[in-house]
């Protein structure tokens, strides 16, 4: 069987984190009783005048700049006509031939650049609930008019893994740019997925199919793999791929062609007469671009200079909140390497265990800096520092107070250490004998016994030294 290369292009829809809708002052807050975030403009009443939300333009330009796009000096809105109950005007206001942003790219970890064809602004539609028994559809227009950007990629991805990485990267960039919350489960980011296959080595693209509106990362991944497999098998069996819109059914793990009626795609775009064009001069574009924070790729380069391993920098920069937290802890403790070690290790472990996002870390970066300092000065042993870290998640108290309260301070009492060593040696003659006979393992056991009687509070290096001296003396 010929082996096929998968070719994927995406259209990612991301909700912009504005307070109000794109053409009216209704709130974009999630939830709310059905049809309570609506007005005559967003429900498409005749005779109303939509007015563009300036923050939508600002956010879209920020997103475009962050993805290396050229920002249009002149841009306009257009009507995309179609009938569906989620769209009360019977047209969606979108952008057709003059989008705000064009020709950018996003780099994935292999160094490969995925091209961004364009980014345009448009309005979201309402939500429908279908009742098959009553034969009715119930319409909630709260989402109608919520601002979206549509990010159209070039067909540059060659595997489901690349697709996954690209979406994650776009998501991270949008979060850093502060223009979208990118919550997939609330539908604030979703994608149309275009898939085709071709024999390896062939330069012409195969016939593509499109799967619309997939709203989870897992479903997108499975849709790419499933559709590429279906097309490869079809071609191998002598068939031909038909260009069509298909619906991905994630429960069945298969795509199904949509009927002709559903796909009648003749949107008859024309310029939106109610909204006047957008003109942006270089000064304004620069002003918006200046609102962008330092992006993950730039931070990774800077972290490498601090001696942070690339894999660790990747984990830290995956979230802007985590990256900001790291920088604060590194600055306050003066020890970036330790700060990175704590965040990649204990912090990630605790967050995962407690199913928390970095936004929910219950203590400030200054507390982590204090933990690092307590370790460095030997006030707390590494083992106890981990206990301390766990306690930070449970109480709002400062590290120093917790050390006091839970007796976590390292012993700097020589006598106590000596006594513990003496006790371990006298109580475990067999282990001592074994050690003297050359069984190195017994040393670890004796160390453990000492630590146990000291309740873990001893500095292991000091204790090891004392135990070694004591055993040497017996030789």
Partner 1 sequence: MADKPDIEYITRLARMELSEEEKCSLESDLGAIIGYMDVLSAIDTAGVEPMEHVLGLCNVMRSDDPAPSSARGELLGCAPREEDGFYSVPIAIDAE
Is-contact 288 61, C-beta < 8 A? Answer: yes
- Report CA 348 to chain centroid distance, whole Å: 14
Closer residue to partner 1 (CB): 32 or 362: 32
Q: Which does 141 bind (CB under 5 to 8 A by kind): Zn ion, partner 1, none?
A: partner 1
- CA–CA distance, 432 with 416 (Å, rounded to integer): 20
Closer residue to Zn ion (CB): 44 or 115: 44
CB of 38 to partner 1, least distance (A): 6
Closer residue to partner 1 (CB): 279 or 405: 279
- CA–CA distance, 177 with 247 (Å, rounded to integer): 32
CB of 180 to partner 1, least distance (A): 14
* Torsions phi, psi for 123 (to 5 deg): -105, 150
Closer residue to partner 1 (CB): 76 or 118: 76
**DSSP-derived 3-state class of residue 91:** strand
- CA–CA distance, 329 with 51 (Å, rounded to integer): 44
Q: Which does 456 bind (CB under 5 to 8 A by kind): Zn ion, partner 1, none?
A: none
Closer residue to partner 1 (CB): 137 or 390: 137
Closer residue to Zn ion (CB): 26 or 228: 26
Closer residue to Zn ion (CB): 42 or 369: 42
CB of 50 to partner 1, least distance (A): 10
CB of 61 to partner 1, least distance (A): 13
- CA–CA distance, 293 with 280 (Å, rounded to integer): 21
Sites of contact with Zn ion (CB under 5 A): 24, 26, 39, 41-42
CB of 45 to Zn ion, least distance (A): 10
Q: Which does 180 bind (CB under 5 to 8 A by kind): Zn ion, partner 1, none?
A: none
Is-contact 363 398, C-beta < 8 A? Answer: no
Provide DSSP, 128-181.
EEEETTTTEEEEE-TTTT-EEEEEEEPS-B-SHHHHHHHHHHHHHHHHHHTS--
Q: Which does 159 bind (CB under 5 to 8 A by kind): Zn ion, partner 1, none?
A: none
Closer residue to partner 1 (CB): 239 or 271: 271
Q: CA nearest 368: which of 404, 398, 410?
A: 398
Closer residue to partner 1 (CB): 37 or 386: 37
Q: Which does 185 bind (CB under 5 to 8 A by kind): partner 1, Zn ion, none?
A: none
Residue 217: how many other CB atoms lie within 10 Å: 16
CB of 31 to partner 1, least distance (A): 13
CB of 21 to partner 1, least distance (A): 9
CB of 40 to partner 1, least distance (A): 7
Is-contact 144 124, C-beta < 8 A? Answer: yes
Tell me how far apart the 2 most distant CA atoms of the chain are, in Å.
100
Q: Which does 321 bind (CB under 5 to 8 A by kind): Zn ion, partner 1, none?
A: none
**Span between the terminal Cα atoms of the chain, in Å:** 72
CB of 239 to partner 1, least distance (A): 25
- CA–CA distance, 25 with 367 (Å, rounded to integer): 41
For helices 460-474 and 429-436, the axis angle rounded to 10 degrees is 80
Name the DSSP class of 81: E
Is-contact 278 57, C-beta < 8 A? Answer: yes
Contacts of 104 (CB under 8 A, 6+ apart): 64, 67, 68, 69, 70, 115, 116, 119
CB of 137 to Zn ion, least distance (A): 21
CB of 233 to partner 1, least distance (A): 24
Q: Which does 213 bind (CB under 5 to 8 A by kind): Zn ion, partner 1, none?
A: none
Closer residue to Zn ion (CB): 41 or 369: 41
Is-contact 98 72, C-beta < 8 A? Answer: yes
Q: CA nearest 330: which of 345, 317, 315, 342?
A: 342
Q: Which does 216 bind (CB under 5 to 8 A by kind): partner 1, Zn ion, none?
A: none
Sites of contact with partner 1 (CB under 8 A): 18-20, 25-27, 33-40, 43, 45, 51-55, 57, 74, 76, 81, 83-85, 98, 128-132, 135-141, 264, 266, 268, 271, 273, 275-279
Closer residue to partner 1 (CB): 26 or 402: 26
Q: Which does 36 bind (CB under 5 to 8 A by kind): partner 1, Zn ion, none?
A: partner 1
- CA–CA distance, 256 with 376 (Å, rounded to integer): 60
Q: Which does 74 bind (CB under 5 to 8 A by kind): Zn ion, partner 1, none?
A: partner 1
- Report CA 437 to chain centroid distance, whole Å: 56
Q: Which does 277 bind (CB under 5 to 8 A by kind): Zn ion, partner 1, none?
A: partner 1
């Amino acid at each position: 069987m010929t082996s096929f290369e998968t070719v994927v292009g995406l259209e990612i829809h991301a909700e912009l984190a504005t307070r109000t809708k794109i053409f009216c002052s209704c709130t974009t807050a999630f939830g709310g009783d059905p049809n309570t975030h609506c007005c005559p403009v967003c429900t498409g009443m005749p005779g109303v005048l939509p007015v563009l939300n300036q923050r939508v333009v600002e956010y879209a330009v920020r997103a475009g700049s962050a993805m290396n796009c050229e920002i249009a000096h002149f841009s306009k809105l257009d009507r995309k006509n179609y009938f569906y109950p989620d769209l009360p005007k019977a047209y969606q206001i979108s952008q057709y031939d003059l989008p705000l942003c064009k020709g950018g790219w996003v780099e994935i970890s292999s160094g490969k650049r995925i091209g961004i064809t364009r980014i345009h602004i448009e309005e979201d539609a309402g939500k429908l609930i279908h009742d098959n028994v009553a034969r009715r559809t119930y319409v909630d227009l709260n989402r109608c008019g919520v601002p979206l950007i549509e990010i159209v990629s070039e067909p540059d991805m060659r595997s489901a893994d690349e697709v996954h990485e690209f979406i994650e990267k776009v998501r991270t960039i949008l979060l850093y740019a502060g223009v979208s919350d990118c919550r997939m489960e609330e539908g604030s980011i979703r994608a149309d997925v275009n898939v085709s296959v071709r024999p390896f080595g062939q330069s012409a693209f195969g016939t593509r199919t499109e799967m619309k509106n997939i709203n989870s990362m897992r479903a997108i991944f499975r849709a790419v793999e499933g559709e590429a497999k279906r097309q490869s098998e079809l071609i191998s069996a002598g068939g031909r791929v038909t260009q069509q819109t298909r619906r991905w059914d994630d429960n069945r793990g298969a795509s199904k062609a949509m009927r002709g009626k559903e796909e009648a795609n003749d949107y008859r775009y024309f310029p939106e007469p109610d909204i006047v064009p957008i003109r942006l001069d270089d000064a304004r574009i620069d002003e918006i671009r200046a609102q962008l924070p330092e992006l993950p790729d730039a931070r990774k380069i800077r972290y490498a200079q601090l001696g942070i391993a690339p894999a660790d920098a990747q984990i830290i920069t995956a979230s802007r909140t985590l990256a900001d937290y790291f920088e604060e802890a590194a600055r306050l403790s003066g020890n970036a390497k330790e700060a990175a070690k704590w965040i990649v290790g204990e912090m990630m472990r605790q967050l995962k265990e407690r199913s928390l996002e970095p936004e929910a870390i219950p203590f400030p970066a200054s507390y982590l800096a204090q933990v690092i300092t307590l370790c460095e000065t030997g006030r707390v042993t590494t083992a106890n520092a981990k206990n301390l870290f766990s306690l930070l998640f449970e109480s709002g108290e400062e590290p120093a107070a917790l050390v006091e309260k839970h007796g976590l301070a390292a012993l700097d009492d020589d006598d106590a250490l000596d006594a513990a060593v003496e006790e371990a040696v006298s109580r475990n003659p067999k282990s001592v004998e074994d050690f003297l006979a050359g069984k190195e393992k017994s040393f670890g056991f004796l160390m453990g016994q000492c630590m146990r009687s000291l309740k873990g509070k001893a500095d292991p290096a000091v204790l090891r030294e004392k135990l070694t001296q004591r055993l040497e003396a017996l030789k």
